[in-house]
Structure 1
Amino acid sequence: MREILREVGMIARALDSISNIEFKEIELTKGQYLYLVRIYENPGIIQEKLAEMIKVDRTTAARAIQKLELQGFIEKQDDETNKKIKRLFTTEKGNQAYPFLKREDEHSNAVALAGFSADETETLYRLLQRVRQNVEVDWDFVKKGNKRTY
């Protein structure tokens, strides 16, 4: 069997490394851009949903959110009906950073998919979605404290 997940991992690490270097100019550190983009695109999202969306544990998400808040990229607001719930929103600083992050994403996609036809791109997208959905089953299982059987 081909080592597909190794390839996916190398791609992800390379793009993450590039982003971490380029995003220093807007004062974003390792991985923070993932959270900022998702909050911008999902205003009012709660921390638990954001962690699930990015596929990280709640503690990791809480640290990243706290840093973004301290840096002034995002803010927490009380939910209108349940004061225990904090909703996440980008600030003006976060809103100004988003176009830069979006341009980088579009450029990285264009570079990664250079030479692919529209049909190949769509097929790759659908196949990767299926891979993600398969992995999510194990992710949910392990996240709940279970152990996989190999």
Structure 2
Amino acid sequence: MVDILREIGMIDRALDSIANIEFKKVDLARGQYLYLVRIYEHPGIISEQLSNLIKVDRTTIARAVKKLEANGLIERRRGPDNKKIKHLYVTAKGKQVYPFIIRENEHSNAVALKGFTEKEAEQLHDFLSRARHNIDGDWDFVKHGGKRKY
């Protein structure tokens, strides 16, 4: 069987490393750009939803949110119905950073797909999306304490 996860991992680490270097100038630390983008795209999202969207545990979300809030890029607001639930919103400062992140993403996407036809790029997207959907069930199962059988 072909081991695609190594290739996906190398692509992920390379792009993450590039982004972390380039985003330092806009007060984003390691990996925080992903959280900022998702909060921007889903105003009022709560941490649990963000955790499921990004596929990281709640502790990681809490640390990232705390740092983004400390840097003035997002804010937490109490919900109107349940004061315990904190909804996440991008601040004016965060909104200024968003277009820079999107430009970097579009550039990296173009570099990654260099030499691909439009049809090949769409197929790759579809294949990766299917692979992610295949893994979603295991992620949720393990996240909630389940043990996979190998």
In 2, Cα distance between equivalents of 1:63 and 1:79: 21
Partner of 1:138: 138
Partner of 1:92: 92
Moved over 2 A (4+): none
In 2, Cα distance between equivalents of 1:125 and 1:77: 35
Give 1:12-31 correspondences, 5 Å limit.
12-31=12-31
Q: Which amino acid aligns with 2:2?
A: R
How many matched pairs? 150
Q: Which amino acid aligns with 2:146?
A: N
Query: What does the per-residue CA deviation read over 1:84-140, in whole Å, with 9 as the maximum and x for residues that have no partner?
Result: 111100001100000000000000000000111111111111110110011111111
Partner of 2:3: 3
Partner of 2:80: 80
Secondary structure at the counterpart of residue 75 of structure 1 = strand
Partner of 1:108: 108
Percent identity of paired positions between Structure 1 and Structure 2: 63
- Calculate the aligned-residue CA RMSD, in Å: 0.6
Q: How far does residue 2 in structure 1 lie from its aligned partner after superposition?
A: 1.3
Secondary structure at the counterpart of residue 96 of structure 1 = helix
Q: Which amino acid aligns with 1:137?
A: G
Give 1:124-135 correspondences, 5 Å limit.
124-135=124-135
In 2, Cα distance between equivalents of 1:41 and 1:121: 24
TM-score (norm 1): 0.98
Partner of 2:45: 45
Q: Which amino acid aligns with 2:68?
A: L
Partner of 2:63: 63
Q: How far does residue 144 in structure 1 lie from its aligned partner after superposition?
A: 1.0
Unaligned runs of 5+ in 1: none
Unaligned runs of 5+ in 2: none
